Amino acid sequence: MKKGIFHYIITTIGTGLIVLGVFFLVKLAEPKGMMQVLPYISIGLGCGVCGHGIGGAIALKKMRKNPNLQKQMEIEQRDERNTAIAQRAKAKAFDWMLLVYAALLLAFSLLRVDMTAVLLFVLAYLLVIMVGIYYRFKYDNEM
């Protein structure tokens, strides 16, 4: 599939999610359970997907008009310095994420939030830590 068509399909899917969310929001008079939040999730997801598709389509159009810009972007993406900076920023964000998760877990447990929500949060926290440990061992063995 061509990249240009892919971006238009993604934009269409995002727009469809937005329309579906607004439809549910307007048509459901007394939503119960999951239907209370589904329209908002659909609208939020649709906005993100639609924005991603539009941004990709615009970038692709600009690249086709200016081949020099395309070459410059490819060089910048492959540049080791930019890659190292991006990896360092991700590592710092991961460190901060662990601190923020731990603080939120403590706050949720002190506020006596529903046990199911706290346990789901704990599982997500442990999953992130396990993935970090897995890749640490994997990269230690490779290098």
pLDDT tens profile 26-72: 888 787 877 888 889 999 999 999 999 999 888 888 888 887 877 78
DSSP category for residue 85 = H
Same domain (yes/no): 55, 41 = yes
Boundary of a domain, candidates 78, 109, 129: 78
Same domain (yes/no): 118, 73 = no
Query: Do residues 125 and 105 touch, judged by C-beta distance below 8 A?
Result: yes
Query: Do residues 111 and 120 touch, judged by C-beta distance below 8 A?
Result: no
Enclosing domain of residue 34: 1-78
Same domain (yes/no): 50, 101 = no
Round to whole Å and give the CA distance between 90 and 129. Answer: 15
Q: Which residue has the tokens 């995002």?
A: 14
| Separation in Å, CA 132 to CA 16, 30, 98 | 36, 43, 11
Query: Do residues 53 and 35 touch, judged by C-beta distance below 8 A?
Result: no
Confidence of residue 140 (pLDDT cuts 50, 70, 90): confident
Boundary of a domain, candidates 55, 78, 101: 78
Same domain (yes/no): 24, 84 = no
pTM: 0.58
Same domain (yes/no): 4, 69 = yes
Same domain (yes/no): 124, 54 = no
Same domain (yes/no): 70, 27 = yes
Backbone φ, ψ for residue 23 (5° rounding) = -60, -50
Same domain (yes/no): 8, 68 = yes
Please, what is the average pLDDT of the chain?
Answer: 86
Boundary of a domain, candidates 60, 78, 96: 78
